[in-house]
Amino acid sequence: MTTDKDRMRRKDFASGIVLMLFGAWVVTETVARVPMKGSWGGVMNVWYVSPGLFPIFIGSVLFLFGCVLTGIAARHLGGAAIREAARARVSALAEIRDIPEPVFRFLAVVVILVFYIYLYMSRIDFFLNSTLFLAVIIPVFYLDEAQAQRRIFAFYVAGSALLIAVFALGLDGRIGGGLPHAPDWLALLFTAAVAACAWGQARGSGERTRKLRLALSMAVAAPLLIGGMFKYFLLVPLPREGLVVAVLDAVYFGLF
């Protein structure tokens, strides 16, 4: 019975942390996106009739329940058991490097597409988002060295998790100060880091270096060609127009 209760408390600890993070995300997103007061339709509205109150309440309650659940679980388990569980999770993550090749390829496709479509499409300039997508997915499947592919993928996942956390907590605006298109600058730096990681993995092999050079060239050229045709010849708005679109607009309208 004690072992079962310990296992349940460990799950409570993890669930409580997830609840805290989700509740904090709901509150910060609501505060950032929903005005608490202002004039709509000629009527001045006060904060206590704002539509943002309900999600703030729900997010706060989830955060509070997460704190209570985590606190009860931590008190039951103790610090030593929590550290041991954390080490076990890190060891389990390290074993991901040994997953079979078909599973890795399926996982890589799903994860990279989820980041590209669902997590980055509404936050990052279309050209930068597409360049980042191609800069990771082409080397992951084009380089013919399994460990290099997995290291590039692991670097991308770790960096993407950090980038999404920065966006969710609204830190991109604070990091960038008054810099226009701050999320795009962060995405540009991350894309350069991914390219540098891939280059480091390909270095030492002339064939892999040639393949990577071609892959990165395609990652830059394809979005510019296809996105440029949609934007300036078919006049189709892009999902997110930011830093690169501003530069292209200046060039295009300056020339034509």
pLDDT on residue 100: 79
Q: At 247, is the secondary structure helix, strand, or coil? A: helix
pLDDT on residue 64: 93
Q: Which of 95-99, 113-117, 120-124 has the lowest mean pLDDT?
A: 95-99
pLDDT on residue 178: 72
Distance of alpha carbon 245 from alpha carbon 214, whole angstroms: 24
pLDDT on residue 9: 80
Asked whether the predicted pLDDT for residue 1 surpasses 60, the reply is no
Structure tokens at 124: 């990052």
Asked whether the predicted pLDDT for residue 97 surpasses 70, the reply is no
Query: pLDDT over 70 for what percent of the chain?
Result: 91
pLDDT on residue 4: 72
Asked whether the predicted pLDDT for residue 2 surpasses 60, the reply is no
Residue pLDDT, tens place only, 28-54: 878 877 777 776 666 677 777 777 788
Residue pLDDT, tens place only, 53-86: 888 888 899 999 989 988 888 888 777 777 777 7
pLDDT on residue 218: 92
Residue pLDDT, tens place only, 128-168: 999 999 999 999 988 878 888 888 999 999 999 999 888 88
User: Dihedrals φ, ψ of 31, to 5°?
Assistant: -60, -35
Task: Render 166-216 in DSSP notation, one character per residue.
Answer: HHHTTHHHHHHTT-TTHHHHHHHHHHHHHHHHHHHHHTT-HHHHHHHHHHH
pTM of the model: 0.66
pLDDT on residue 93: 61
Structure tokens at 203: 């270095």
